[in-house]
Amino acid sequence: MNTAARLGLLGGTFDPIHVGHVAAARAARTRLGLDRVLLLPSNVPPHRPQPLVSVHHRFAMVALAVAGEDGLEASDLELSAPGPSYTAATLQRLHDRGYRASQLFFVIGADAFAEIDTWRDYPRFLEDAAFVVVNRGARSALDMPAAVPSIASRMVPVDERWQVSHDASRSVLLLDDAMPAVSSTGIRARVNEGHSIAGLVPALVEAHIFKHQLYTGVPAHERSGAHHGTANLLHEQEHH
């Protein structure tokens, strides 16, 4: 890793990754002048049901989703670590690799950030990176001062006055860009019911889902490729 870079981090189960995830990563990179944004599938989500498909498929879908996306990369940083994928531990691993808090930008949906005071090691990990809150469904990033008033003083709207050169460490950056209204839960339901998911996930992800019969109600041990075919890709919120 280039430890001189400004690095964005977008984590989640990605079960499956969808166009909203990609839009959030793209917006953070563009608006904040980030060198790269890593999309990190979680290993074991601490406070969520376990993913329906294997880590191999989830990593493969993330890699396919960002193929050709300048500055967006799939990362196995959390998949390579045992146990629950806690944000505090992920940030600590990056600090151990030489990154400073001023270089790290943790991207998170407004719905998840509204509950951040329930996360492990809160509020200590707010010192380890800037947090970038993006709109999620009906929840606006600009609602966060009211949702988490105890840290409202850290919150800074990203508007036309924002300067890329700012040291944003320990800040909560509110990115009020429009995001696609789509969810992994809804996508899984549509696949299982036989409906189209065109436009809800990147085209390569859609092809992967149907090639391997993911989310169709077929038992995992009967799914094509459930135990092979994508394992070679493993060489690299949910987050609590």
Instruction: State the angle between helix axes of 19-32 and 55-66 in degrees (0 to 180), rounded to the nearest 10.
Output: 50
Per-residue pLDDT tens over the stretch 61-81: 999 999 999 999 999 999 988
Per-residue pLDDT tens over the stretch 205-235: 999 999 999 999 744 443 444 333 322 222 2
Q: What is the pLDDT of residue 46?
A: 66
Q: What domains can be seen in the chain, in order of their start residue?
A: 7-181 (3.40.50.620)
For residues 85 and 90, which has the higher predicted lDDT (pLDDT)? 90
Per-residue pLDDT tens over the stretch 11-40: 999 999 999 999 999 999 999 999 999 999
215 φ/ψ sector (left φ>0, alpha ψ -120 to 50, else beta): left
> Would you say the pTM of this structure is higher than 0.75?
yes
Percent of the chain with pLDDT over 90: 74
Q: What is the pLDDT of residue 235?
A: 29
* pLDDT above 70 (res 137): yes
Hey, what are 68's tokens? 């050709």
Contact 205, 64 (CB under 8 A): yes
Q: What is the pLDDT of residue 234?
A: 28
* pLDDT above 70 (res 161): yes
33-50 in b/e burial notation, b at 16+ Cβ within 10 A? ebebbbbbbbbbbbeeee
Q: What is the pLDDT of residue 159?
A: 85
Per-residue pLDDT tens over the stretch 113-134: 999 999 999 999 999 999 999 9
Round the average pLDDT of the chain to a whole number and report it.
87
C-alpha triplet 29, 30, 33: angle, nearest 5°: 70
C-alpha triplet 184, 186, 190: angle, nearest 5°: 115
* pLDDT above 50 (res 191): yes
Hey, what are 72's tokens? 């967006």
For residues 147 and 237, which has the higher predicted lDDT (pLDDT)? 147
